[in-house]
Amino acid sequence: MTPNQCPLCAQQVPGGNRVVGEVLSCDGCSAELEVVGINPLRLEEAPEVEEDWGE
Ligand SMILES: [Zn+2]
Bigger pLDDT: 2 or 29? 29
CA–centroid distance, 26 to ligand 1, in Å, is 5
Task: Identify whether 54 is part of a domain.
Answer: no
CA–centroid distance, 31 to ligand 1, in Å, is 6
CATH code of 22's domain:
2.20.28.160
CA–centroid distance, 51 to ligand 1, in Å, is 21
CA–centroid distance, 45 to ligand 1, in Å, is 9
Q: Is the pLDDT reported for residue 1 higher than 70? A: no
**Prediction pTM value:** 0.72
Residues 38-53: pLDDT tens digits?
888 889 998 776 667 7
Bigger pLDDT: 8 or 52? 8
How many domains is the chain built from? 1
CA–centroid distance, 52 to ligand 1, in Å, is 25
Residues 9-33: pLDDT tens digits?
999 887 778 899 999 899 899 999 9
The residues near 15 (Cβ < 8 Å, ≥ 6 apart) are 4, 41
Task: Identify whether 53 is part of a domain.
Answer: no
pLDDT score at 3: 60
Judge contact between 24 and 36, C-beta under 8 A: no
